[in-house]
Every structure is written in C-alpha cells, then in structure tokens.
Structure 1
C-alpha cells in the first residue's frame, strides 16, 4: 500500500509542474507590478519627492536586483515593426516586395536561451530556493514557514471536528427512534448550509465577539503579547481563544454537506442485505450501524474527504482575512494585493501539493477499504 501511495505521488509531479508553470507565466503577464507601483508612481510613499529620472533609475536598479529585467521564457514572440507607408504595389510586384509589405503581419520568433526568469525560478524550485519577496525582501520559504503553523492547526482541527461531528450526527439520526431529531436537525443543517461563509463569519463576530451582545471571544488576530515561559498547554489555551471563532466558522460551513452525504451513504448501507442479516442475528441497532453499515459507507466518505481538504484550504483564506489570523490565506491575499508574485506562486504550489497528496491518500484509502480494489492492483 505504501508503494502504491508513492507511485501516485510520483505520477502527480508532472501535473504540479505543469500547473505551477502556468501560474508562473500568467502571474508575470498580468499588467502592473510591485516595482511600478512603488517606484514609478509619483503618488506612492517611496520616492514621492524625487524627480522622474530618479524614480526610473531606482526602478531599473530594483529590476536588476530581482531579475525582472530578464526575458520571461526561453523564447518570445513579437511582431515586426509596421512600415509607415506600405509601398504602392503593382500587379507585376516582385516576391521580395510582397514579403517586405506583409512581413509585419507575422510574429517574430526570438530565442532567449536559459537566461530568463522562468529558468531561474524553476532551477531555484528544484534546489529548494523559492526566491525572495518583492514586498519585504525576505525569503519566500521563511515567510511561508512563519505563516503555515496557524493555518495547519486551523485546518487540522477543523477537519477533525467536522468529520467527528458529521459521523456522530449521521449515526444518531440514522437510528429509527430518532425520527423527531432527524426532522429537526436536517432542516437546520440546510439553513446553515445556505448561509455564505462571509455572512456566517461576520454573524459570529457580531453575536459572539461584540460588547453590545456577547463578548465571549477576541475579535481578531492572535494577541499582541505572549510570555515566553508558557508550557505547551498554556500556549495552546491562549491560542485557542483566538482560533475559536475561525474554527467555528469553518466547521459550520462544511458540517451540513458532510453530514448529509454521510447520512445518505449510511441509509444506503442500512438497506443492504448484510445489515438485514446482522439484525436477524439479534445485534443491537448501534452495533449494526457502527460495525457493519459504517465501514461500507466509508467509500463515498473517502471521496468527500479528498474534496474536503482543498475546500478547507480555500475557506481558510476568507476566514483568516476576516479574523486577521496570520496564516497562509492572509499572506496570499496580501501578496495578490501587492503583486508579490514569488510569494503568490509559492503559496499556489503549496495548495497544489496538498491537493495532489489528498487525492493520492484517497486512492490509497480506497485500496484499504475495498479488498476488491486491492485484488485488482495485485
């Protein structure tokens, strides 16, 4: 099974490379840049009292330092200069005159060699160097390392709490004697599912972090002061009071869909012949659900979880922005706003790697859950 997982991860590497290349090229083709906004704009905070020539000189020095003066790719296409006045062609015009007249309509191919931005970026990726930030001048990996901790714990805790609640709620309402609870819970989950993430996060702020209503949690951020002599549990408790509302927002947004899918899968398993046989043997209902129906309901759940992890990553971007959590999501938004392309591309690569690994783990979990798939692979 471990060999199968490694094989799936290796097969995902070309896809990550292709998507990373597209993101890199498209990000560089966007109009405007961090340097133009900070150096050439007279209204910017940098060099606002300098002359135009001084700003242009500073901009050229900045491009040289960051490597943005190099061509973008190994080759480039450009058009020929259009003639000012095309010659008056006669019916007996020569072939050379025709080529000179229409050559500007065809693209010109230029070979740039390995001295280009993409080659330097790809070489750095292969050696573990993700370049430096245009905005702060810090190494990109260092910025991601400083931000990924809060995002990791937020996503891990959110996924664990959501899956645990979804499984327990699905098992609870799948019992026959819980019909009243099922009639109350399913419409409530439908109402919660219809609330957008932005609205739900702001509602939690108004209801649970408002001095005019209930100020149970801090409004935003991760605190301004943390003593150095705290042990692990004290530091965890201090951080959890700031992570409670973001975690609650992630759980409430994803819980209705996960619960509904697990419940439907359980209902299908409870109608199968093997569960009827288990009931006929006299097993209690909770053992029939947990020992027999639940394992066969895991296959659809594996697919749900493989899509759930990327959804959590995208949801954390909005949550971290609203609650000012210093994580990957907030760093991504700041990089987009500042056109900090090295950080932007690196974060997208991290998200792609997480997505591919989640799909590889899902395929491996299918092999573990269904012996028939294992026999086909063998």
Structure 2
C-alpha cells in the first residue's frame, strides 16, 4: 500500500514536471515579443528611421534580453543556423541555457521573476491564491455538501422531485458567465436588489476599520462569486449521484434492507450511499480543477484579483514566468486531485486494490 502510494505520487510529480516543461519550452520560443513588452518606446525608435535610433533600439533590446535571461540558448541541444558551408544541424549548448537555469531554480523553490513587474513569480502567485483558494475551496465544499443532501432527498422520490430535476437540468445548461451576470444583475443592482457589492475587493480598505468590519466586507464580496461557482457545479454532481442512488435502491440488498423494516432514508444513508459514491468520486476529483478554470470567468466578472485574472493578464502580456508558474501550480492541483480520488476509492470500497 505504502509503496503503491509513493509510486503513484512519483508518477504524478513526473507528469506535472513534464507538463510545465512543455509549456516552458513552447512559450519561450516567442522571446522577441516578450521582450518588446518591456520596451514601450520601441515603436518610436523604429519610426524615427535614423541609424542612431535603430542602434539605440537594438542596444536596449539586447539589454532587456540579457536582463531577462533570454539571450541564452533555450535548451541543452538546439539547431545551429545554416551557413554557406554547412546545413542545419544540432549542437550541444551545455548547461548554460534557459531551461537548465529554470530547472535548478524550481528545485530550489524559485519560479523566476515576472517579465512585466520584476517581482518574484512565487510572490505574485501566492498573492493571487489568497483570493482564489478561499473562493474555490468554499465553492467546492458547499457544492459537495449540497449535492449529497439534495441527491439523497431526490432519490427518496418526494413529490417535488420532478420540478427540482427540471430546474437542475436548466441550470446545468447555463454557462458560468451567464449565471454570474444574472447574480450580478439581480443582487448587486440598485434597480432590483442591492444586497451585495458588485466589485472592488482589490481596492484599498479603510485602515481604521476594525477586523470584524474588514472580514464582513470580504465575505460580502465573496457571496456572489461563490454562489456562481456553486450553482454551476451543483447540477452535475446532484443528477449523477441521484441516478446512482436510484440504481442502488433497486438492487437486492436494498430490497432486503427495506424488508427488514428500515426506512427509505436509512437504506440510502447506511447502504446505498457508499456504493453510489464511486462514480461521483471521479466527478469530485474533477471539481476543483474545474472550479479553478471557472474562477477565471468569475474573477473577471466580479473584478477579483485572483489566480484567473493573473494568468489571463500574464498570457496577454507574454509574461511567461508567471504563466509557466501558474500552469505548474494548476497542473499539480489537477493531478493531486486524481491521486486523492484514488484514496477515496479505497475508502468507499475496500474491495478495490491498487495495482503497481
């Protein structure tokens, strides 16, 4: 058991590293565009047309490439430019390359520095995670608890089962940005209900406010974004679990439990639920990465300074260290969620055994 867990953990880390390496190598092919974002006056220098201005631009461009470390070869091996006497061939660049420097930095906990701001990538990521983790973690927890409670009630076959199912199916068909905009227009609109603030969480707060007032302000800002994520995740979890519970209630062991005098709710809680959870556990492992992806939409709609907006801005400004660091972090969360699902399978069904 322990060796199987360690082996799976090793394969997970290897897959995360391979993903981050591919993103790093692909993104750093566009070094000229990335460096030009740090030269706001480059178009003016080129437009002047004089030789001195062109030389000045080339010198500034070379200085930026050197400062960002983009003047080094990309990888350990690379293609040598063809000449009149030789054709294109591969050559060994040694350890003085961009990938090796990034590799050693990550092993030491250094994800590099932002091309755009010069800040450490880890600092920017953790600052964004301070908003994204509470948002996605709370949404995941509320969606799972609500799905467990609602699915058990629906599986019991109450009179309101059909309208609730129809409502869940309709809600499932709505994109996340539509749900977020509807909540924004309904509950942060002075023309309807101005119960919650629409945006402004990243604005400076009153320094003289008490900790309770700042906490209340933070919670008010997070209600609508969290609700949007919960409402989009709830239908899929609930409908899947309800179908699995309904199927389990038709089996022989459930019929025997009812024949012994157990109530329908007791049969669901103590017998059917654990078996019905197996297909739902896969959905739960997919839930957190899906919420992280959905956080991009929610953070844009509600102007939250979280991970989604950070990666969107990094992609648009060619801030590759931040982008690669975000992919590394997101990929690790995704693969670790799959590893957690395997552990939950063992808890839900002891008959399942890992194969090395």
Q: Match of 2:232?
A: 253
Q: Match of 1:120?
A: 101
Tell whether the 8 Å contact from 2:172 to 2:236 is kept in structure 1 after alignment.
yes
Q: Deviations over 1:308-346 (max 9, x none)?
A: 121111111111122111111111011111100000000
Q: Match of 1:69?
A: 71
The question of 1:133 aligning with 2:135 is answered no
- In our comparison, the structure showing a higher alpha carbon Rg is 1
Runs of 4+ with deviation above 6 angstroms: 46-50
Aligned-pair CA distance for 1:164 = 1.0
Measure, in 2, the Cα distance between the counterparts of 1:23 and 1:205: 35
Measure, in 2, the Cα distance between the counterparts of 1:186 and 1:193: 10
Change (3 A) 1:198 1:79: same
Aligned-pair CA distance for 1:48 = 9.9
Q: Match of 2:318?
A: 339
Q: Match of 2:61?
A: 59
Q: Deviations over 1:5-63 (max 9, x none)?
A: 4432122122112111100011112475232133175458x999994433332221121
Q: Deviations over 1:68-93 (max 9, x none)?
A: 11011111124524x6xxxxxxxxxx
Q: Match of 2:33?
A: 33
Tell whether the 8 Å contact from 1:40 to 1:56 is kept in structure 2 after alignment.
no
Aligned-pair CA distance for 1:189 = 1.1
Change (3 A) 1:187 1:345: same
Q: Match of 2:90?
A: 109
Of residues 295-304 and 52-61 in structure 1, the stretch that sits farther from structure 2 once superposed is 52-61
Change (3 A) 1:236 1:295: farther
Change (3 A) 1:247 1:47: farther
Change (3 A) 1:297 1:234: farther
Q: Match of 1:91?
A: none
Tell whether the 8 Å contact from 2:27 to 2:320 is kept in structure 1 after alignment.
yes
From 156, 176, 187, give the equivalent of 2:166.
187
Q: What is the TM-score when the length of structure 1 is the normalising length?
A: 0.86
Gaps of 5+ in 2: none
Measure, in 1, the Cα distance between the counterparts of 2:283 and 2:173: 19
Q: CA RMSD in A?
A: 2.4
Change (3 A) 1:293 1:234: farther
Q: Deviations over 1:140-191 (max 9, x none)?
A: 1111111111111011100011111111111111113x1x311101111111
Tell whether the 8 Å contact from 2:187 to 2:194 is kept in structure 1 after alignment.
yes
Q: Match of 1:224?
A: 204
Measure, in 1, the Cα distance between the counterparts of 2:223 and 2:118: 33
Measure, in 1, the Cα distance between the counterparts of 2:147 and 2:301: 25
Q: What is the TM-score when the length of structure 2 is the normalising length?
A: 0.91
From 153, 163, 182, give the equivalent of 2:144.
163
